[in-house]
Structure 1
Amino acid sequence: MHKKTVSRLRRARRARMHMRNLGAHRLSVHRTPKHIYAQIVSPDGGRTLVAASTNERDLRGQLSGHGGNKDAAQFIGRTIAERAKAAGIQEVAFDRSGFAYHGRIKALADAARDNGLQF
């Protein structure tokens, strides 16, 4: 694996262990150059409770442009917050998967916060 990827995964593992000790639901985010994915995972890490991505057929038509930009990340942040509220989840721990907190990751987090998700 590339050194940059190994470093990102090391950061992600360390953060996930801390979240596991807290016992909170996890809002896990992953990004690729073309898409962004978000899911809320149960505290034991065994089940995905809510998920949203720019790769979903229903959401793809509502995006302007492609799924790898800040506008798409904001849209996914709003969507995941709405789905979480519908599932009865109000508070989560933000798992950025080792990615730096800027750009699309920050846009998704801010949109989720603005739509009622607390972390």
Structure 2
Amino acid sequence: MKKYNIGNKLRISVFRSNKHIYVQIIDDNFGKTLISSSSIEIIKRDGKIKNQTKIELSYEVGKLLGIKAKKLNLKQVVFDKGKYMYHGRVKSLANGIRKMGLNF
């Protein structure tokens, strides 16, 4: 298992569409995406629960990304929300990532 312990911090990039949310951890030094996760992945894995809101689904996407980051021993990242305001689905995603132990 490779350890990504680079002097510069890794970046979490967020993209939010009307239906789904996508997130990835990018190493800008090498121009490489290390991990990615999306609401589509959660839906395919679990099947969409009828009463689950987009905010709850975003939280689950964040937790999934955090689990994948733990496998690569990632601890510290920078959260790049892009053009999106930090509330709603983006905030829920960030809370899910933090819940799994990633710091930003």
TM category (shorter chain) comes to: 0.7 to 0.9
Structure 2 stretches of 5 or more lacking a match?
Answer: 1-6
Output aligned runs, 1:8-87, within 5 Å.
23-44=8-29, 46-56=31-41, 59-61=42-44, 62=46, 63-65=48-50, 69-87=54-72
Secondary structure at 1:55's aligned position in 2? Answer: helix
Normalised TM-score (structure 1) = 0.73
Of the three residues 90, 94, 101, the one matched with 1:105 is 90
> C-alpha root-mean-square deviation of aligned residues, in Å?
2.1
Whichever structure has more helix as a proportion of its residues is 1
Contact 1:73 1:104 in 2 (8 A): yes
Structure in which a larger fraction of residues adopt strand: 2
Q: Which runs of 5 or more residues in structure 1 are unaligned?
A: 1-21
Per-residue deviation, 1:55: 2.0
Identity of aligned residues (%): 33
TM-score (norm 2): 0.83
Q: How many residues align?
A: 96
Counterpart CA distance in 2 for 1:42 and 1:65 is: 36
Q: Deviations over 1:16-68 (max 9, x none)?
A: xxxxxx93100111100110001000032600000001123xx2142424997
